[in-house]
Chain A
């Protein structure tokens, strides 16, 4: 057999370590690893992913077992009273499995509830209903209303922002650079904000999901993936098309808005309706500048009108999707992954827009950190910071 030949023997060589691993695993399973202890209580890790109040007389909990062993949910306490419940499919939840727990309880609107799960070895896990209000159910009407909210916070502000396009086009060269730098500022704020939310969702996850590493690695993979894709599309051409950059900004912003939609939908699902109103107003103001960011790279070009429609949809539309997911099927795992993808995508467009600024300064022999550029960057961050005050009260 030649050295470079890849015959059946070569495949076998690749299997050798796996074979060894199999033998080792079999040995450990059969004989133990010498670290087994039977005198310790089992490690239990239940987390309540969601508490829904679908009717005035019940709580419905989604419970996940993030521990290494099955956990049996033996009793439930609601506001210091042991209460009746039913667990589907079973009150014994396998590793990484989940159960839906229904508690018949006539809750009082507007009051707070603490729900404690007691497992078979007496360990307790808590869930909270900060404000008891009906959880909107799934119906055509709620579906439509969530879509409407998503449109208010996503599509409309982004589209309104894009309407600044004709105004911005009449700016001079340094004015346009100001807008590009402003975009970098906006995006810098958004990437930190998105990352923070991703990490917040990740910390809610059971330990086995390795939430924080997951978020960081998804951000990196998204960033590298998009950079790679961008390079592939450019092929021979030296520079990415500016319209392409706009689309990528719209995508990154879209994923960010998906995260905002998730938060708003979840707020509604938890009955925080008035909070939702406040958020809707805040996010609408907050997101209007995102349109400017999307338009910035194409100020020197004349794309067809249809492109603007698509850009608005791509940047704002995911907010609708996010509101649906957040409202009907909130999952911290999904939220963490989506938000991490969003953060990665925004990082990539920051890179692209910065490159545009760098090339421009190269071409015109002006300093990159000109007054216009620095001012734009600062203004972008300041605008986001100021409008963020509206959404974090």
Chain B
């Protein structure tokens, strides 16, 4: 309880009191003035020192310490695509993937551990990638103590939807379907309670490339997520690819003028919208990646839960450029990063 509460005074009351009594209190008014005057002298110098004393670009708005990236490295995750084991069966390509649901303690900010449920021990799960028309076969094992499933966004038969066929602890299930339609999709657990099974970390990106392919580019995956570390049904930490401020501390290196293709998906729980904003640049936006023509040329895109798309852009100047959620709160709670554009 605050000292103001102790005296049964609301903040508004206090401010009003301050306004009316502040002047009349000759002794105390003079006193407050002196306190300011005294500290005012060296204030400027100290602020300058405080600003340069920290290596963060937003004057202290960052985490303290570093995350152990030996278990999960968001930088490696960016360009890590799981194309499965590829083989030809009956004249077509079959891709076989293995996903295992298990418990994992993940570090979502330096020193802050979160008891996650994870596909293959990582949050987000591996980025699955196939080509339109491939046969996709996902061998799913559940090593966790709770039932789980995998629900893929895309076309598939009812019994491959990962909703009604719960996979119990120790059980195994094989999802098999054709990779359709092409685009930027996602997969996640669909066991009830649904929100819990998603917020605990059971999700990942699922990219289906068009048959004819897309132009060559430096491709990266960004899964916008958040973590409710104290289980109060709101997120304490926000990020892309799970680690708050990771790309602020480890900027994403890209080449000047090279086409960058970012596969972006919002899997945030509790908050209804998320957003993505690039500094000093605009991007072509392909909603859900299901068309080959962009729908928009912009620098800020709002995402609902489960919404995703593809962004294409090039940087015209070298240097360090910020990208972040334009929901400032999320940005300051970890969803902020940097591109380092090199010649």
Q: Which residues of A contact B (CB under 8 A)?
A: 41, 55-58, 72, 74-77, 80-86, 91, 103-106, 110, 112, 116, 118-124, 128, 130-131, 133-134, 136-137, 141, 145, 148, 200, 204, 263, 266-267, 270, 272-280, 391-393
Contacts and interface: CB of A to CB of B under 8 A. Distances in A.
B17 A204 contact: no
B213 interface: no
A178 to B, nearest CB: 32
A344 B176 CA distance: 78
B158 interface: no
Contact of A82 (B4, B6, B35, B244): B244
B31 interface: yes
Contact of B7 (A104, A136, A267, A274): A267
Most B C-beta atoms less than 10 A away, residue of A55, A263, A266, A391? A55
Contacts of B329: 80-81
Contacts of B39: 55-56, 134
A209 to B, nearest CB: 16
18 contacts: A76-B64, A80-B329, A81-B329, A81-B332, A82-B109, A84-B61, A106-B47, A120-B111, A122-B114, A124-B229, A124-B230, A130-B11, A141-B34, A266-B3, A273-B22, A275-B7, A280-B28, A392-B7
Contact of B332 (A80, A137, A277): A80
B236 A122 contact: yes
Nearest to A266: B3
Given A75-B63, A77-B333, A104-B50, A273 B3 contact: no
Nearest to A80: B329
Interface in B29-81: 31-32, 34-36, 39, 43, 46-47, 50, 53-54, 56, 59-65
Interface string B232-259: 1000110000001100000000000000
Given A122-B229, A134-B35, A84 B3 contact: no
Contact of B61 (A83, A118, A131): A83
B14 interface: yes
Nearest to A124: B230
Interface string B257-276: 00000000000000000000
A131 B22 CA distance: 14
B64 A75 contact: yes
A91 B244 CA distance: 19
A392 B8 CA distance: 6
A121 B114 CA distance: 6
Given A204-B1, A266-B3, A267-B7, A273 B109 contact: no
Contacts of A272: 3-4, 14
Nearest to A277: B25
Interface in B98-155: 108-115
A122 to B, nearest CB: 3
Contacts of B229: 118, 121-124
A84 B15 contact: no
A83 B31 contact: no
Contacts of B65: 74
A274 B18 contact: yes
Contacts of A267: 3, 7
Interface string B10-22: 0101110111011
A75 to B, nearest CB: 5
A118 B60 CA distance: 16
B109 to A, nearest CB: 5
B21 to A, nearest CB: 5
A145 B43 CA distance: 24
Contacts of A57: 43, 46-47, 50
B280 to A, nearest CB: 23
A82 B332 contact: yes
A83 B3 contact: no
Most B C-beta atoms less than 10 A away, residue of A82, A118, A266? A82
A133 B108 CA distance: 34
Contacts of B31: 136, 145, 273
Given A118-B229, A272-B14, A274-B17, A128 B61 contact: no
A104 B36 contact: no
Contact of B56 (A76, A84, A116): A84
A112 B61 contact: no
Nearest to B10: A130
Nearest to A330: B3
Contacts of A280: 28
B2 A274 contact: no
B295 interface: no
B194 interface: no
B9 interface: yes
A56 B43 contact: yes
A152 B213 CA distance: 83
Given A55-B46, A275-B17, A85 B22 contact: no
A104 B15 contact: no
Given A72-B111, A277-B22, 10 more contacts: A55-B46, A75-B63, A80-B329, A124-B229, A130-B5, A136-B35, A263-B7, A273-B28, A274-B18, A275-B9
A230 B17 CA distance: 45
A274 B28 contact: yes
B8 to A, nearest CB: 5
Given A122-B113, A204-B1, A83 B28 contact: no
Contacts of A204: 1
Contacts of B21: 274, 277-278
